[in-house]
Amino acid sequence: MGKLISRQRLRAALLSLAILIVGLGLWQGLTLKPAGQQLPAGMSAEYAALMGKGAEKSDGLPPPAKVGEAFVRYLSDPFYDNGPNDKGIGIQLAHSLARVGLGFGLAVLIALPLGFAIGMSPLLHQALDPFIQLLKPISPLAWMPLALYTIKDSSISGIFVIFICSIWPMLINTAHGVASVRKEWLNVARTLEVSRWRTAIEVVLPAAAPTILTGMRISMGIAWLVIVAAEMLVGGTGIGYFVWNEWNNLALPNVIFAIFVIGFVGMALDWVFGRLQRLATYRE
């Protein structure tokens, strides 16, 4: 069985490598400059490069080698600080992760206890469900103008947006997980005269933990997705601001580099919560 799993993983890795090679080949092909293409008369090479018509660009899409150079340049010194609009990618990620961590942490503090209460009380569930269903579909960025007007601080407004988008998946999954605990287990605890607090900690929480962590995993994915758009609006620092600033500078290799960094960090965060979810899942 172990050998079969190892072979399957090897074949999957080889297939992924082949897809990567084909994708890079297609990317390189799309950026090739047609043979015989010349600069317009009277246009210097410097001006052509500024206008995106130089020999290194084709239809505005940089080749993989240029993006690779951006990787080397930014990862070789990720924590440099040359002023407000020129900070290393490590500093930008640190600001984004701090905002996500604060907003997500505040959502955890509210969503988990409230979700427990909703899951254990059908009356509370019926009373709060209309409000949850009303607020849940609202785009997090729709809250940004209101947050900026009332809070009057762009960084705190970004944290608020992360909080408001993180709370709903956790709240709903926690309530569902608590309400779905097997009645037989609760009846046994009641028969043994176990207190409600001890029942919640030792019976309900372990049984609902996989569902709760699923909600937290979804919330973290949404939070990391939203922070990029929020930072484009509020500016200052962060990976979203980095993307917007490099776009304004017409530095597309840096934009694509940042897109890959966002994807890698999001994948790492999802992997962490996936591991926690597997650890909390009971296997016979």
The CATH number covering residue 226 comes to 1.10.3720.10
Q: Is residue 17 part of a domain?
A: no
What is the C-alpha end-to-end distance of the chain, expressed in Å?
Answer: 18
pLDDT in tens, 70-99: 899 889 988 888 877 778 899 999 999 999
DSSP string of 77-113, one letter each residue: STT-B-STT-B-HHHHHHHHHHHHHHHHHHHHHHHHH
Torsion of CA 275, 267, 96, 71, to 10 degrees: 140
What percentage of residues in the chain have a pLDDT greater than 90?
A: 30
Specify the pTM.
0.81
Structurally, the chain folds into a number of domains equal to: 1
Decide: 117 and 129 in contact? Cβ < 8 Å. no
pLDDT band of residue 186 (cuts 50, 70, 90) is confident
Rounded to 5°, the CA angle 203-276-93 comes to 135
Q: Is residue 184 part of a domain?
A: yes
Q: Is residue 188 part of a domain?
A: yes
Q: Is residue 163 part of a domain?
A: yes
| Residue range(s) defining the domain that contains residue 216 | 98-236
- Find the range with the poorest average confidence among 81-85, 118-122, 153-157, 209-213: 81-85
d(CA 256, CA 15): 24
Q: Is residue 82 part of a domain?
A: no
Decide: 80 and 87 in contact? Cβ < 8 Å. yes
Q: Which range in 28-32, 178-182, 248-252, 255-259 is most confidently predicted, on average pLDDT?
A: 255-259
pLDDT in tens, 117-132: 998 888 999 999 999 9
pLDDT score recorded for residue 218: 93
Q: Is residue 213 part of a domain?
A: yes
Decide: 128 and 68 in contact? Cβ < 8 Å. no
Q: Is residue 125 part of a domain?
A: yes
Burial of residue 211 (number of CB atoms within 10 Å: 0-12, 13-18, 19+): buried
Decide: 209 and 183 in contact? Cβ < 8 Å. no
Q: Is residue 159 part of a domain?
A: yes
d(CA 97, CA 87): 15
